[in-house]
Amino acid sequence: MQSVNEFLNVERVPAFESSCVSRIVKLGCQILWNPFTEATRAESAMEKGNPMIVESPKDLFEFLLSSTADGAERLAPALEELSRNIEDRNIEDALNAQVFVLRNIVGVLGQCFRLLRGQRSEIRARLLDVFMEEYRSELARVTSPTARRLLVLAKANALIQLSIGEFSTLIAIAEMTGDWGVGLLLDGCLVQNTAFVERTKRLIGTIVDGNGTATLSAAFDQPQRRIN
C-alpha cells in the first residue's frame, strides 16, 4: 500500500514539501486515505461493478470532481425542498436562484473534465441523505414561522458551506497539478457559492433584528448587522 507521499509523487515537484498547497492537499489525502483505500479494496474483493481506483493525483482529482458534481446535482432538489417548507416568497426566490447557480455549476464541472481529458465516475455520497433526514425531523418540531425561516436559511447555508469546502480543496489540487484552466473554472464556482453564504447571513441578520418582512433587496443591499 502506498503512503500519501508516494501517492502524491512529491519527488517530482521539488518545492512541493514546503508549499502551503502541499499541506492542504496532503491533509485532505491523509483524512480520506485509509477509509477510501479500505473501501476500494472491499469493493474489488466483492467484485461490485467497476469501482474507481485512486492511484495518482489525477485519479484523486477526478474522484473529488465526480463527488462534487454529484453533490451539486443533488443539492439543487434539496434546496427546492427547503424552499417549499416556508411561506416566504423572498427566501423562496433566493433559494431558487441558488438552484439555478448549482445547475450551472454542474455544467462547469463537466467542462473541467473535458479540460482534464477525464471521465466522471458515478459516485453517490450518503452525507446529503443523512443531512436532509435530520432536517425534516427538526422542521417537524418547529411551529413558529420566524423560527422556520431561520431554520431553512441556516440549513441552506450549511449545505453550501460543505460545497465551499469541496471547491477549496479542488482549487488547491488544481494549483498543485498545474491545471490552471480548471482552477479558474473552480474559482468561479467558489465565488458564486460564497456570495450565497454571505448574502444569506445578511438576510438572517435582518430576521433576527425583527425585520423578517424586509425584502431581499433591503437585506442584501443595505448594511446589516452580520452574524459571526
Give the three-class secondary structure for 207.
Answer: helix
pLDDT at 33 over 70: no
Specify whether 62 is located in the same domain as 123: yes
Residue 214 falls inside a structural domain: yes
Specify whether 20 is located in the same domain as 79: no
For the chain, what is the domain count? Answer: 2
What the block records as the C-alpha cell of 122 is 458515478
- Torsions phi, psi of 79, nearest 5? -70, -35
pLDDT at 196 over 70: yes
Contact present, 159 and 79 (Cβ < 8 Å): yes
Structural domain boundaries enclosing 85: 56-221
pLDDT, residue 136, reads 93
Contact present, 41 and 23 (Cβ < 8 Å): no
Q: Which of 51, 74, 89 is the last residue of a domain?
A: 51
Residue 110 falls inside a structural domain: yes
Specify whether 75 is located in the same domain as 6: no
Torsion on CA atoms 80, 81, 86, 92, rounded to nearest 10: 0
pTM score over 0.85? no
Q: What is the DSSP string of 11-60?
A: GG-TTTTTSHHHHHHHHHHHHHHHHHHHHHHHHHHHT-S-PPP--SHHHH
Contact present, 83 and 153 (Cβ < 8 Å): no
What the block records as the C-alpha cell of 47 is 467484485
Specify whether 14 is located in the same domain as 73: no
Specify whether 120 is located in the same domain as 155: yes
Question: What pLDDT digit, counting tens, does each position of 108-156 carry?
Answer: 999 999 999 888 888 777 888 899 999 999 999 998 888 999 999 999 9
Specify whether 39 is located in the same domain as 143: no
State the CATH number of the domain containing residue 204: 1.20.1260.10
d(Cα 186, Cα 180) in Å, to the nearest integer? Answer: 10
Specify whether 21 is located in the same domain as 86: no
Helix (H) or strand (E) run with residue 97 in it = helix 89-116
Question: What pLDDT digit, counting tens, does each position of 35-87 carry?
Answer: 333 333 333 333 344 556 777 778 888 899 999 999 999 999 999 999 988 88
Contacts of 52 (CB under 8 A, 6+ apart): 40, 59, 62, 63, 66, 121, 123
Q: Closest by alpha carbon to 16, among 213, 166, 173?
A: 173
227 confidence band (pLDDT: 50, 70, 90): very low
pLDDT, residue 101, reads 95
Residue 227 falls inside a structural domain: no
Specify whether 186 is located in the same domain as 136: yes
Specify whether 32 is located in the same domain as 101: no
Q: Which of 18, 35, 51 is the last residue of a domain?
A: 51
pLDDT, residue 177, reads 87
Specify whether 44 is located in the same domain as 67: no
